[in-house]
Structure 1
Amino acid sequence: MRAEHSYQFNRQRGLKTLLLKSLSLFSSVRLYNVIIVAIAQFLAAVFIMAPGLSVTSILLDYKLWLIIIASSAAIAGGYIINNFYDREKDLINRPQKTLLENQVRRSTLWSVYFVVNAVGFILGSIVSWRAGLFFALYIFAMWFYSHKLKRILFLGNLMAALLAVTPFFVLFMYYKNFYAVILVHGGFLFLILGMRELVKDLENLRGDLAQNYRTIPVVLGEKVSKQFYTFLTFLTIVPIAVLVGYFKLGYMHYYFTLITGALLVCLPLIWSSRRKREYLLIHFILKIIIGVGVFSILLIDLPSILDRFQTLFT
């Protein structure tokens, strides 16, 4: 009986440890963000990049899936290397989450980092040598950002936003589609991501200050950071106005109307914010704007989309 009880106890303990390490690994690679980018790439391919192709032909295009998987692997690697360089800072800014992520040994994370980057490069190379080169440069850029650029004033925020939108450029290359509407959409997303990075710097002010990160709040202060955020908010209205006024967006114009209101609501919130949890609320709103924006792509030509999917399943 004692041996059986000991076996059950060790088995439960092993399962608990495995679950904890799995959660730690998923947290390290920011699995939620990786999935959102993958969905965004797929929807962009179907409804923006290649509107002339049938859904069936896009779904059966193995090279598109290789690009999406390669992007997901490279992004996951980027999050891992970013965690390595930010570990001391994150222990100050988000101790509980960092302790969870520390459940996986650093040697294991290094192994995962090299594996996912190799997967990204190899799958990209299968698509074409240009895609392989793209992913090699993207992987290097994420390492260089985490190692050097992140601590440089303004450049760190700029690179973070650029790297977040970069996975969509490989789709431009693949479909050879550089329509103006896509570039304006990209500009809108870039500005939203820039705002999010600025709010993250305000959240992480204590850790950045302790670790000598030269972020905008650390060097120029919270007031200037809020002024810059305000400037980005009004600047974001420019691509929104261009998209709504000059391009056919279908029902997606409702999304832009709603998020314009949400962005304006965030302005008094950020000016009244003094504590981390208040900045976290604004950060959450911006993440919702990005997440809803991904699925709002479906609204560009909703009747046609419904017809195409009906054709697909009949």
Structure 2
Amino acid sequence: MQPFFNLIRWKNLVMIIIAQVLIKYAFFEHFQTFTTLSNLGFIFLVLATVCLAAAGNIINDIYDVETDTINKPDRVLIGKQISEKAAYNLFFAFNIIGIILGFCLSYMIGKSSYFTIFVFISISLYIYASYLKGTVLFGNILISLLVAMSLLIVAIFDLLPVMITENRAFQLVFFDKIFDYAIFAFLINLVREVIKDIQDVDGDYKAGMHTLPIVLGRERATKIAFALSMIPIGAVIYFMATYLYQDVLAISYFLLCIIAPLIYATIKIFGAEHMKDYKHISSIYKLIMFLGILSLLLYPFIFKLSTNV
């Protein structure tokens, strides 16, 4: 079973589950927002998201066999521990389950058109793995948008269907806050994707890809990654100054667990030379993403029920 769990990137899937659970129960439900999803509906949403993400991870591994053989030979699963045919079967199975669950969920809440979101995610993950991953920034941007969507989709399905004129202002406060978190996820993942491209440049080059470090060179790509790394720092500082400046607990958490690691990662990018440096930086950004998600636990303690959340 271990190869299977490694293939679907179970740790990443757990992070998605934690993020969606915190958005639903530590944020929306705690502040008694007008929500659409019952517990069963929310389970459908989580399972649909996780299934599509698992399918995306599988197809990514299938198309990455050549590059991973060079970059990460000890972590190649397709063709060694799992056959390509079995991997494709799993890819189709997870996609079908995810889309069916998405259709059922959309029907349950009376928003059949929302079903197209799951179809879009499924198609986008395939296009990313099969083509866009090997292009300059387009693949990085697309996969970062999909990471952001894994957060925003909870607000789309839980808040929007019950939004009416009378509660619109109240609902938008919470939707906007999750949108801020989605932007944060997009920025963090975008920097991490560029870092990973630099880390994997040797295998990507031999596979005929045209990623940023291949087209511009590793040194220039590192400078671009350094510049991009400054954006989430500025964004988080703006978020703190706008929403959290009155609360010592929130400011302390964001300074210690978000800003400090972001600055550390930026400094490491500036001095990165070896592949192990880029691997370390990538891990730091993954940790920052997780700590950012955990900050949702702060809201029940630092804010009272109001439209100024």
| Bucket of the pairwise TM-score, normalised by the shorter protein | 0.7 to 0.9
**In 2, Cα distance between equivalents of 1:138 and 1:286:** 23
Aligned counterpart, 1:193 = 189
The answer (yes or no) to whether the contact 2:199–2:278 under 8 Å persists in 1 is yes
Task: Give the aligned partner of residue 310 of structure 1.
Answer: none
Query: 1:11-45, CA deviations, whole angstroms, 9 ceiling, x for partnerless residues?
Result: xxxxxxxxxxx111111110110111111011012
Listed as ranges, the gaps of 5+ residues in structure 1 are 1-21, 306-314
User: Which of 66, 72, 82 is the matching residue for 1:94?
Assistant: 72
Question: Is structure 2 residue 209 aligned with structure 1 residue 213?
Answer: yes
Does 2:242 align with 1:246?
yes
* Count of residue correspondences: 282
Q: CA separation of 1:184/1:42 partners in 2, compared to 1, >3 Å: closer, same or farther?
A: same
Q: Decide whether aligned partners of structure 1 residues 252 and 112 sit closer, same or farther in structure 2, where only a CA change above 3 A counts.
A: farther
When residues 138 and 99 of structure 1 are mapped into structure 2, their CA distance, relative to the original with a 3 A threshold, is: closer
- Paired with 1:184 and 1:101, the residues of 2 have a C-alpha distance of 41
TM-score for both structures, normalised by structure 1: 0.83
Q: 1:59 to 1:156 in 2, by over 3 A?
A: closer
2:220 maps to which residue?
A: 224
- For 2:90, the equivalent position in structure 1 comes to 112
TM-score normalized with structure 2 length: 0.84
Which of 221, 232, 238 in structure 2 is aligned with 1:236?
232
CA offsets per residue over residues 233-270 of structure 1, 9 Å max, x none? 22112321221111248534333212212222223322
Which residue number corresponds to residue 62 of structure 1? 40
Instruction: Indicate whether 1:181 and 2:177 are aligned.
Output: yes
RMSD: 2.3
Runs (5+) with no aligned partner, structure 2: 107-111, 161-170, 305-309
Amino acid at match of 2:17: A
The residue aligned with 1:144 is 127
Identity %: 25
Larger mean CA deviation between 44-53 and 217-226 belongs to: 44-53
- Is the partner of 2:185 in helix, strand or coil? helix
Assess if the C-alpha contact under 8 Å between 1:209 and 1:218 holds in 2. yes
Detail structure 1 runs of 4+ shifted over 4 Å in the superposition: 57-60
Conserved 8 A contact 2:197-2:213: yes
Match status 1:285 vs 2:284: yes
- Corresponding residue for residue 109 of structure 2: none
Deviates more, 1:257-266 or 1:193-202: 257-266
Q: Does 1:132 align with 2:130?
A: no
State whether residues 48 and 182 of structure 1, in contact with CA within 8 Å, keep that contact through their aligned partners in structure 2. Answer: no
Match of 1:256 among 245, 254, 257: 254
Q: 1:67: how far off?
A: 0.1
| Greater shift in the superposed pair: 155-164 or 77-86 | 155-164
Instruction: Write the letter of the residue equivalent to 1:40.
Output: A
Higher mean C-alpha deviation, range 167-176 or range 216-225: 167-176
Alpha-carbon spacing, 1:238–1:274, altered in 2? closer, same or farther (3 Å): closer
Q: Give 1:58 deviation, angstroms.
A: 9.2
Bigger Cα Rg:
1
Q: For the structure 1 residues 231 and 276, does the alpha-carbon distance in structure 2 shift closer, same or farther, using more than 3 Å as the test?
A: same
Classify the secondary structure of the residue corresponding to 2:82: coil
Give the aligned partner of residue 22 of structure 2: 43
**Greater shift in the superposed pair: 128-137 or 144-153:** 128-137
Greater fraction helix: 1
Counterpart code for 1:218: I
